[in-house]
Copies of this chain bind each other. A is one copy, B any other.
Amino acid sequence: MALVFSIQLVLLILVQCVRSQQDLISKFQKLRYLKQTYDVQDLTSEDFVAHISPQDGLKVADKISSLPGQPKMPKFDQYSGYVTVDSDHGRALFYYFVQSTNESSQTPLVLWLNGGPGCSSLGGGAMMELGPFRVNKDGKTLSANKYSWNKVANMLFLESPAGVGFSYSNKSSDYKTGDTQTAKDSYTFLINWFERFPEYKTRDFYITGESYAGHYIPQLAQLILKSNENESNAAINLKGIAIGNAYIDDETQSKGSHDFWWYRSIVSDEIHDGIVKHCDFSWQSSVSETCNAYINEENKLVSNIFSYDIYAPLCLNGTSSKTTGLDGFDPCSEDYIFSYLNIPQVQNALHANLTGLPGPWQDCNDDIFYKWTDQPFTMLPTIQRLMGSGIRFWIYSGDVDSSVPVTTTKYAIKKLNTTIKSPWRPWNLDGEVGGYVVEYEKLTFVTVRGAGHFVPSYQPDRALALFSSFLAGKPPVAM
């Protein structure tokens, strides 16, 4: 299982490391032989009572007066700061919260989580994908994102677990963490955040996110539902979850990735035939030498393109490539965000890095990534339980991502063996096919045409349409 895990994990590796992906692949090839075990705690058996600290006055202190270089735009309030999740360890998670521009007192509250494991929802989700601002090429100023999700919801971005972005712990051993601790800390964060922002306590609450958040989100949802049963806890009004290009099942992730590369005519028939014939990606299997040899050949073929969007231009030498992608998205955005979030005035405005963190803000933390301690081989049993819990469950997929490609999600859903309620059909945005949608019993699956891994970066208008549909609880409109 560990063997399979590590070769997949490389596909989820942080934006920050994209340009050295080739090195990482060879590193992970070695990791495959370590046969680590990944024990995971069953969160359904948790009777978790989160420690609640007093939050008086902290909301006011967290209010952002203005971000350096921000443009004039419709008014909405922004907050950011730390929530302590373990005062003994001095472990605190950083959040960024933007109220909706559209009747924020009525619209739902939505938590957004990026994956990794080890990547920031501030640098990814908020600044590169779906937040109100995009960082300009100068790395100093911001422009408005026309398709920000705070047009329809109050958006809360969490840097999680400790060690990611501005989040930290005073106990370095906390940086060796995994799924279970991440879920518990995220839950503790939420409960305390609701104390700080009590007006949201009864608001409709949703969780969205992508990639390795395919683990985080179902686990957190499960913990919330379980904890809601405990009368000592304040109930969280969880209405639904949506996970995008989601890492949810190691076996289908492996098989689906290899198939995707071949389906897209990136890998030769000969190599793909070899993988199909010689590789077994199931739970207990170990990967054979022959299988490995084919995968090595495959890695060479796929290592030169941007795995998160196979048609996108690369960011070469820190400036955008001349070649245009599907979307006009600037492939060097991560560099601009890195610059921006390391400006001291920006950190001051965000109330971030108050303790003098040892290094610069990074989009993803390699250390967290490599030392990840626990994860289940599959999230499908958790997903099945959530599908029976009454909360809304959507899975979406940008269809030109090769890191957690649409094939892997399709294969995983097939394993759920659920019934089709409304068959696969195109959905419409402005007269164009936005993607395809199929409704299963208690699960909706939506694709986004021409979107890579970071769906709201690559197809911002389609992503906002999809998100609005999710909140409305109705599949996107038909063609």
A residues with a Cβ closer than 8 A to B are 263-271, 301, 304-305, 310-311, 313-314, 316, 321-328, 397, 399-400, 406-407, 410, 414, 420, 423-426, 428, 430-433, 436, 438, 447, 449-450, 461, 479
Contact = CB atoms under 8 A, between A and B. Distances in A.
Contact of A425 (B301, B323, B399, B410): B301
Contact of A264 (B263, B271, B423, B479): B263
A426 to B, nearest CB: 5
A119 B323 CA distance: 29
Q: Which of A304, A314, A399, A433 has the most CB of B within 10 A?
A: A433
A265 B410 CA distance: 9
Contact of A424 (B263, B301, B438): B301
Contact of A432 (B270, B321, B424): B321
Nearest to A414: B269
B410 A311 contact: no
B324 A432 contact: no
B461 A323 contact: yes
Please provide the 10 A-B residue pairs with the shortest distance between their CB atoms, ordered closest to farther.
A268-B424, A263-B263, A311-B450, A324-B328, A265-B406, A304-B433, A326-B326, A304-B479, A305-B433, A316-B431
A456 to B, nearest CB: 15
A326 B328 CA distance: 8
Given A265-B399, A432-B314, A301 B426 contact: yes
Nearest to A426: B304
19 contacts: A264-B264, A265-B407, A268-B424, A304-B433, A304-B479, A305-B426, A305-B449, A311-B311, A311-B400, A314-B432, A316-B431, A316-B432, A321-B430, A322-B430, A323-B461, A324-B324, A324-B326, A324-B328, A326-B326
A197 B188 CA distance: 82
A244 to B, nearest CB: 14
Nearest to A297: B423
Contacts of A323: 430, 432, 461
A139 to B, nearest CB: 22
A295 to B, nearest CB: 16
Most chain B C-beta atoms within 10 Å of own C-beta, residue among A270, A310, A324? A324
Given A321-B432, A323-B432, A432-B323, A268 B314 contact: no
Contacts of A268: 423-424, 436, 438
Given A266-B436, A323-B461, A314 B431 contact: yes
Given A268-B438, A316-B432, 6 more contacts: A264-B264, A270-B424, A301-B436, A305-B432, A310-B449, A323-B461
Q: Kindly name the residue among A265, A406, A410, A479 whose own CB sees the greatest number of chain B CB atoms within 10 A.
A: A265
A290 to B, nearest CB: 17
Contact of A311 (B326, B430, B461): B326
A324 B451 CA distance: 12
A468 B425 CA distance: 42
Contacts of A266: 436
Contacts of A407: 265
